[in-house]
Structure 1
Amino acid sequence: MTDRLAGWYLALYPEKCSYTAQAVRIPMKDGIDLAADHYQPTNMPDSSEQAPLLLIQTCYGRGEAMAIFNARLYAARGYQVLFVSSRGTFGSAGRFDPGRDEQSVSRDIVKWMRAQPWYPGSFATAGASYLGYAQWALLHDPPEDCVAAVIPTGLHDLSRQSWGTGSLLLQRIKWSDLIVHQEDPSVGFLARLWSLATTTRSDGLKKVLEGLPLLDNVKGYFAGRAPWIEDMMTRSDLDDPYWAPTQHEIALERVNIPILLFNGWNDLYSRQVQTFDAYRRLKERGCDVGLTVGSWGHVETSGMKTLPSILSFLDSYVARSQVPDPLLARIFVTGAQEWREMASWPPATVPLTAYLHGDGTLGPRGPSEDIATSSFTYNPADPTPTVEPRTDDNGILAKRKDILVYDNSPLETDLEVMGQPVINLEHSSDIPFVDIVVRLSELDPITGASHSITEVCQALDPNRAAAPLRLELCDCAHRFRKGMSIRLTVAGGSSPMYARNLGMEGNRVLGSTFRPSRHTISYSEGLSYLTLPISEEYRD
């Protein structure tokens, strides 16, 4: 009954069959074994062949809530599912070391799977978030019998997620807190998972993340329960050998199977842009790849809004029970509040340039500026707060003096931005150790509400040359409506999304002292400007 209600709620097609679930142990080459459940459809109309098989690996357990969305709904629609717990989690032996074992573990699972009497000769992979990362780890060396993959909001490089901006993503600490407590009795796992996926804030960790040195505070909080935490926090160099087992970008060069990717504009993790990077590279190589991006957060993207499309893809490319539709880019355009289908993302665009002016306006380049520069001071003792996707950033930032704000005149016609905006800044600072955060928003000039659309955060190289900055913001698809204004903000931090830049030499997680930084933007040479990719087809 639970399965049927879940299928109805998610608008899935009716169940085809019953199924059985059998607990199994999967041996690894190092002598430990993993806990897994094998789901097998029963009472199928045509039982002459083995049912198609999905491999799904999870670090979040195989209990009812996880099993419904990752195994049972598939099994009731004719798929075998091998649902495997990661090393050191939920009955699997060994130690959990985030991201570092999935590649070798995946190979051992596939080797064991092939020897089972129920193996149909090929398989596909599925699963979102960390479950998606496990798929990329497997595809680092793609098995010949893996025929398709569905990867909602999945990363292929944990080093980039952690330190790719040059600033430590503090969600990694919040996620570690979820992992170490998820098997504790009465822990409220689903509530913790929801909090992790929907907000950067954490009341329980607030004091931990505010104290200095950050590493000492975090280690004291975990008290040895997250043995990976020190390496993750201190190894800021992406070329450090520590990160090599977590870097699977090579999969984008090797894989050649149908792949369906999902992301959400409101997903906190989509700011890491890896789904878009994967799509672009696979598309460049001519791979059969689809992309769906909705106005969703992490949970909706992981399955609550995507399972009907996932099943349609699997039925086409794995079960082969229907003729496959072409794999397109299916994109929800915010502002317009409508879906678009296109052959590829981004669509054809034309650049629109808007210059930053010293009076706080954004618009066409004019004569020499009366105001040649603007400055703000970033203070690590009172860091600029994070603005979460699609929230009113004016309410958060209006009274702060540590940001610069630029608005254009109200638009006389609709304007659609499709792709990655680019910001060029003639920027300088009084100390070399600084971050820069640039955010694009839509401002309602009447109400004063300003809603975040996309952003970029980057720690600047302390040895950088004296040249204008060029930064790409994350992808977006947004219609700025007639009468609205485009707003651009420039700041020196985003807390608690990222660890504060203390303004001191060395790794910021080790520092116990800090100093403010003074940022200056220059306008006189016309080198500070925003370039927007404007849709050709839908520009009104």
Structure 2
Amino acid sequence: MDAEPSYGVHAELDVMVEMRDGVRLATDIYRPVDSDTGEPVDEPLPVLLDRTPYGKRGRLERHGEWFAKRGYVVAIQDCRGRFNSEGDYYIFVNEAEDGHDTVEWLADQPYCDGQVGTIGTSYGAWVQSALATQNPPHLAAMFVNQGAANGRKATFRHNGAFELRWLCWAFTLGGGFAKRALDDPDVQQLLANVDVADVLANSPVLPGQSPLRHIPDYEEWAFDIMTQADADDELWQSPGVNFEAYYDESADVPTVYSGAWYDSYTKATCDNFEAFASRSDSDQFLLMGPWTHGWNTYPLPSWNKSYSGELEFGEECLMDYQQTRLDFFDHYLKGKDTWNDQPTVQYFEMGHGDGHSARDGRLFHGGEWTSAEEWPPAETEYESYYVHADGTLSTDEPGENGGSTSYEFDPKDPVPTLGGNCSSYITYEPREENILEYPLAQRKLQDLTGRGGFDQRTRPDTFGAEAPYGPLEQRDDVLVYRTPPLEEDVVITGPIRVSVYGSTDAEDTDFTAKLVDEYPASPDFPNGFALNLCDSVCRARYRGYRDHADFVEPGDVAEFYMEPYPTANVFKKGHRIRLDISSSNFPRYDVNHNTGGPLYGDREYEVATNTVHHDAQYPTHIELPIQRR
């Protein structure tokens, strides 16, 4: 139950906090008010800082009031170049220094007791990790919900490929509220009229040929992240983008890294916790639920939803986001006994349900909370499941004559995305009213890919799919490998690793991998249910997390190593463990044109013959983190 409020709230709006370069950032300060005097509390208190590019009023304003009523000063700040803050906006690059300077400014105020904690989700999590790289002296604790670790490795780009959600974001939540758009209704109207689905379907976008040209600073950073992929490019070494490079010099403070199995930052959340748990003297925690990335609910994350995509987990999975954060900060900033029993690692183990049709026709996948002292759990045993020519997936290694399987990959007909670790694949609802009649901030956002667990079959609303609709496994460019029906439950918890030994006749290509929990047919789901758990992609020229492009020789076999995002799932008796291998997953990732041309912007396309090898020399396999019980 929520802690009862003890104070009123006094808000001082748009306090202009000066950064080291003279740029001033607009900051709203919420202070507790003494109920007897009606005046802000004189006693210095801990401050909680939330930095955002989305506007500090509305939903975040309610966060500020909620914590102020419970004895915290709360500062909510518009990031540089956004809303009421000064300066120019280039995604993430100024956030490390701006965050540091804000923490230290707050610590110097008479209402602060010298302790500054940070909160925030998504972009608000990025900026926390960014400022932590600068080790501000008065940073005291962080609650980092759904944020990045290394933008090149798995968030902006993914193993060489580009996550197209950032182009979607540039047209919607980003560009739609750029300074230029807010100052010029005509520019905002142009962006409001963009159908992002059309943009993706007719991509690549070219510089100067879309509404982004009206906000040139946004067009610049969008094309930078789409076209730059070498590790030594300045962008990828920025402390606002690549926290992994600054782990050893980052702040050592109590931190919760929280996330979700169907979040777009699942891997990064676990990577951050694992890195700091081994480096830090202070307490570090990992909290992972079965949810998706939350971007339009209050509270902001999806902790108050019992479903993800087409899956239902039951009320067992629900958590109180605000109370959880309050308990953490009360313990570490106020010395209360509110966090003593919190396990180091707490996660929701999916898959304990019976698969019946729950509310709204969702499959009841179920699950239960469990805990561990480290990540991955100490008892984890990694076991390899190998693909075989007959379509089976088993722990038996392939023989000398295991052979190979080829398919045609046509970049003009990519495999559609059906849910998964997606966020920001969005477009604004089309409206006849103009911006003045129906402001952009009030318009609904439409999801293009779905988020969470989905039956892997296309339907009329699947982006990029055409009739006849049906299972993705029926496509000629999707190779499916499955175990026999399991004789007993198989429990996995932790990171997933895939090695596809592949070859191509093209100058460059991609391979993709997807882990699937395959439900058998049932009365409620007579066609079964192919449940996606996690996926990944590997671009040939950057295979093995190469720092620089290194093209494969057509016909040569190479290892395409992938890390589908971590998960925790029970494959129940009678289910099958399935691995899908292909070369596209669109629009989750941009599509390789197979020409060896530019990473983005290539207007040429080539059909590639791609081959997956499965013999003793080239044993394509997936490595699963097994929990023996």
TM above 0.5, yes or no, is yes
- Output the CA distance in 1 between the equivalents of 2:609 and 2:141: 51
What is the DSSP-based 3-state SS (H/G/I as helix, E as strand, rest coil) of the residue aligned with 2:612? strand
Partner of 1:377: 408
Deviation at 1:524, TM superposition (A): 3.0
Shift, 1:339, TM fit: 0.5
Match of 1:427 in 2: 502
Cα gap change, 1:419/1:218 in structure 2, threshold over 3 Å: closer, same or farther?
Answer: farther
CA deviation map 1:448-490 (0-9, x unaligned): 3100011221112253474444433221110000111111100
In 2, Cα distance between equivalents of 1:218 and 1:262: 39
Q: 1:141 to 1:364 in 2, by over 3 A?
A: closer
Q: 1:232 to 1:468 in 2, by over 3 A?
A: closer
Q: d(CA) in 2 for partners of 1:416 and 1:436?
A: 26
CA 307–230 in structure 1, closer or farther in 2 if over 3 Å, else same: same
Q: Give the alignment partner of residue 315 of structure 1, picking from 311, 321, 330.
A: 330
Counterpart residue type for residue 38 of structure 1 = I
Task: Pick one of 187, 190, 195 that aligns with 1:204.
Answer: 195
CA contact (8 A) 1:136 1:251 kept: no
- Of 82, 85, 93 in structure 2, the residue corresponding to residue 92 of structure 1 is 85
- Equivalent residues of 2:226, 2:599 under 8 A apart: no
In structure 2, relative to structure 1, the CA distance for the partners of 1:468 and 1:138 (3 Å cut) is closer
Equivalence for 2:61: 67
1:498-513 matches, within 5 Å, as: 498-513=589-604
Query: Which aligned pairs between 1:177-196 and structure 2 lie closer than 5 A?
Result: 177=171, 178-182=173-177
Q: 1:391 aligns with which of 434, 443, 454?
A: 454
Of 607, 616, 628 in structure 2, the residue corresponding to residue 525 of structure 1 is 616
Correspondent of 1:285 among 279, 283, 287: 279
The answer to whether the 8 Å contact 1:437/1:456 transfers is yes
Render the CA deviation track for 1:125-160: whole Å, top value 9, x for unaligned.
111111111111111121121111000001143344
Instruction: Give the structure-1-normalised TM-score.
Output: 0.88
Does 1:243 find its partner at 2:236?
yes
The one-character-per-residue Cα deviations of 1:89-125 (angstroms, maximum 9, x if unpaired) are: 1111111111011122123323432332222212111
CA deviation vs aligned residue, 1:226-285 (integer Å, no higher than 9, x gap): 242222222222320133333222443232110001111121343xx1111111111122
User: Following the alignment from structure 1 to structure 2, what is the Cα–Cα distance between the partners of residues 474 and 163?
Assistant: 14
The residue that corresponds to 1:346 in the other structure is: 376
Go from structure 1 to structure 2 and tell me whether the alpha carbon gap of 1:251 and 1:81 turns closer, same or farther (over 3 Å shift): farther
- Corresponding letter in the other structure for 1:535: Q
Moved more, 16-25 or 424-433: 424-433
Matches within 5 A, 1:135-284: 135-160=128-153, 161-177=155-171, 178-182=173-177, 204-212=195-203, 214-216=204-206, 219-225=209-215, 226-227=218-219, 228-245=221-238, 246-254=241-249, 255-270=251-266, 273-284=267-278
1:207 positional shift: 2.1
Tell me which amino acid in the other structure corresponds to 1:505: G
Conservation of the 8 A alpha-carbon contact between 2:328 and 2:338: no
Q: Contact conserved, 1:34 with 1:93, CA < 8 A, in 2?
A: yes
Counterpart Cα distance in 1 of 2:579 and 2:496: 11
Matched, 1:132 2:125: yes
TM-superposition CA deviations, 1:470-514 (whole Å, max 9, x none): 433221110000111111100101110111100012323121111
Match of residue 460, structure 1, among 540, 543, 546: 540
Partner of 2:588: 497
Q: Is the 8 A contact 2:331 2:338 kept in 1?
A: yes
Residues 286, 241 of structure 1: alpha-carbon distance in 2 compared, 3 angstrom cutoff? closer
Amino acid at match of 1:391: F
User: For 1:421 and 1:112, how far apart are their aligned partners in 2?
Assistant: 42
1:295: which partner in 2?
A: 290
164 and 529 in structure 1: CA distance in 2 versus 1, 3 angstrom threshold:
closer
Query: In 2, are the aligned partners of 1:129 and 1:302 still within 8 Å (CA)?
Result: no
Cα contact 2:349–2:370 (8 A) shared by 1: yes
Partner secondary structure for residue 214 of structure 2? coil
Task: In structure 1, give the amino acid aligned to 2:223.
Answer: E
Separation (CA, whole Å) in 1 of partners of 2:395 and 2:51? 52
Q: Among all aligned residue pairs of Structure 1 and Structure 2, give the percentage whose two residues are the same amino acid.
A: 26
SS in structure 2 at match of 1:131? helix
Bigger shift: residues 325-334 or 395-404? 395-404
Q: What's the counterpart of residue 3 of structure 1?
A: none
- What's the TM-score once normalised by structure 2's chain length? 0.76
**Partner letter of residue 586 of structure 2?**
S
**Matched-pair contact (CA < 8 Å) for 1:335–1:479:** yes
Structure 1 429/155 Cα, relative in aligned 2: closer, same or farther at 3 Å?
same
Tell me the amino acid that sits aligned with residue 345 of structure 2: A
Name the amino acid aligned to 2:143: V
Distance in structure 1 (CA, Å) of the matches to 2:323 and 2:83: 28
Question: Could you tell me how far 1:518 is from its partner in structure 2?
Answer: 1.3
What SS is found at the alignment partner of 1:233?
Answer: helix
Task: For residue 91 of structure 1, give the secondary structure of its aligned residue in structure 2.
Answer: coil
Aligned partners of 1:400, 1:224: CA distance in 2, in Å? 40
Given that residues 261 and 290 in structure 1 are in contact (C-alpha distance below 8 angstroms), is that contact kept between their aligned partners in structure 2? yes
In structure 2, the residue matched to 1:80 is 73
SS at structure 1 position matched to 2:488: coil
Q: CA deviation at 1:327?
A: 4.9
- Matched with 2:12 is 22
Distance 2:146 2:595 in 1: 34
Segments of 5+ residues of structure 1 without an aligned counterpart are 1-10, 188-201
CA contact (8 A) 1:500 1:508 kept: no
Aligned to 1:410: 485
Contact 2:400/2:616 (CA < 8 Å) preserved in 1? no
| Aligned partner letter, 1:344 | E
1:383, distance to aligned residue in structure 2 (A)? 0.8
Distance 2:398 2:121 in 1: 51
Q: 1:219 touches 1:229 (CA, 8 Å); kept in 2?
A: no
Report the alpha carbon displacement of residue 208 of structure 1 after superposing the two structures with TM. Answer: 1.6
User: 1:366 and 1:117, CA in 2 relative to 1: closer, same or farther beyond 3 A?
Assistant: closer
Aligned length: 508
Of 161-170 and 337-346, the range deviating more from structure 2: 161-170
Q: Distance in 1 between matches of 2:398 and 2:232?
A: 46
| Aligned equivalents of 1:416, 1:237: Cα separation in 2 | 37
